[in-house]
Amino acid sequence: MKVAIFGQTYKNSTLDYVVELLDELEKESAQVYLEDEFQELLSTSRNDLKYDTFTETEGLDDTFDMFVSFGGDGTILRAITYVRDLGIPIVGVNTGRLGFLSTFKKEDVRKVVREFVQGAYTIVERSLVEVSQESDVPEFSELNFALNEITVSRKDTTSMITVETYLNDEYLTSYWADGLIVATPTGSTGYSLSCGGPVITPTAKSMILTPIAPHNLNARPLVIADDTVIRLKVSGREENHLVSLDSRIATVENGKEIIVQKAGFTIKMIEYTSESFLKTLRNKLLWGEDKRN
């Protein structure tokens, strides 16, 4: 078994769970690789943790069986910039708070290995969205994809922007709002949900258009097929607006056409039998909870 481990920052208590994972992997005689900067962070407390390393551009290939992310959902979003189109299955150990992607409790970290070895899991392929290279946004020339959402939003102003929107070259509407979110099913439980968007199961073949604080009160989130090509053009009082891919942000000149579409590859997530998406909804969103019962 060949395993890559990644994390961004950690609390002192997190190190204990990383060590537990490493101990469990050692029992399986696994080949372990730590992300270069993560190993440096860990070595400030434990200088005996010496493993092979990888970076964002080197050290990973399609021979890895698992990529373990230590942190919250934001760490998972960062992890996909390492995995890219290599097809390495990802699992998240949640050391943060909510965690829709990082579903495994850190206290159960040994089960990540045990249940994987037992085969008590399925691989769920998550679709991504991308800014087409035709959009000519240099900041996204390489990492032009997002697992959760692509968002256009206002910059340097409190005034709203107008987002002219086309679906497969047919005019849809012009959103007068703070911005517009194009979310994947995975991203339906993120920013889109906070702005009133629906929850969609991860394997649905769809995308969501969710306006951010729209002034048109009849503007509502719209679910569309994931093979739709979306064209966006922003206008407003300022010269520029923001385009974000998950947490990566670029400044784009107003009037430039942004083409958004489904990416040509997927991210494989490990869904353990004990940690399903529906169970996560009940636990994280408290579905079914009622103080009257």
**pLDDT tens profile 2-52:** 999 998 765 666 788 888 999 999 999 999 999 999 888 888 777 777 889
| Residue 273 binned pLDDT confidence (cut-offs 50, 70, 90) | confident
Of 5, 39, 74, 38, nearest to 248 (Cα)? 74
Identified catalytic residue from 65, 73, 169, 246: 73
| Per-residue pLDDT, 284 | 77
Same domain, 137 and 251: yes
Q: Determine, yes or no, domain membership for 289.
A: no
Q: Determine, yes or no, domain membership for 240.
A: yes
73 classed as catalytic: yes
Same domain, 61 and 160: no
Q: Determine, yes or no, domain membership for 39.
A: yes
**111 CB-near residues (< 8 Å, 6+ apart):** 104, 272, 274
Same domain, 154 and 99: no
Same domain, 153 and 259: yes
Residue whose tokens read 């039998």:
273
- The count of structural domains within the chain is 2
CA dist 243 and 28 (Å) reads 44
The three-point CA angle 127-1-71 to 5° equals: 50
pLDDT tens-digit readout, 163-186? 999 999 999 999 999 999 999 999
Q: Determine, yes or no, domain membership for 219.
A: yes
Same domain, 94 and 166: no
Q: Determine, yes or no, domain membership for 292.
A: no
Same domain, 151 and 220: yes
The amino acid at residue 265 is F
| Residue 64 binned pLDDT confidence (cut-offs 50, 70, 90) | very high
What is the percent of the chain where pLDDT is above 90? 68
The amino acid at residue 44 is T
The amino acid at residue 137 is V
CA dist 102 and 71 (Å) reads 7
| Residue 293 binned pLDDT confidence (cut-offs 50, 70, 90) | low
Same domain, 17 and 94: yes
Taking CA atoms, 236 is separated from 85, 139, 168, in Å, by: 36, 22, 24
Same domain, 170 and 255: yes
| Per-residue pLDDT, 95 | 83
Residue 69 has pLDDT above 70, yes or no: yes
Residue whose tokens read 């409190």:
158
Taking CA atoms, 210 is separated from 24, 105, 162, 174, 220, in Å, by: 43, 31, 14, 13, 7
Residue 87 has pLDDT above 80, yes or no: yes
Q: Determine, yes or no, domain membership for 290.
A: no
Taking CA atoms, 62 is separated from 3, 85, 95, 136, 264, in Å, by: 11, 9, 27, 30, 17
Same domain, 185 and 210: yes
CATH code for the domain of 182: 2.60.200.30
| Per-residue pLDDT, 98 | 66
Q: Determine, yes or no, domain membership for 211.
A: yes
Same domain, 28 and 152: no
* Region of residue 244 (phi > 0: left; psi between -120 and 50: alpha; otherwise: beta): beta
**Domain range enclosing 43:** 2-120+273-284
Same domain, 14 and 141: no
Most confident of 69-73, 95-99, 162-166, 268-272: 162-166
Overall average pLDDT of the 119-138 stretch: 91
Q: Determine, yes or no, domain membership for 242.
A: yes
CA dist 266 and 249 (Å) reads 22
Residues constituting the chain: 293
CA dist 282 and 277 (Å) reads 9
| Per-residue pLDDT, 12 | 61
CATH code for the domain of 108: 3.40.50.10330
What is the percent of the chain where pLDDT is above 70? 97
pLDDT tens-digit readout, 199-249? 999 999 999 999 999 998 889 999 999 999 999 999 999 999 999 999 899
Same domain, 100 and 13: yes
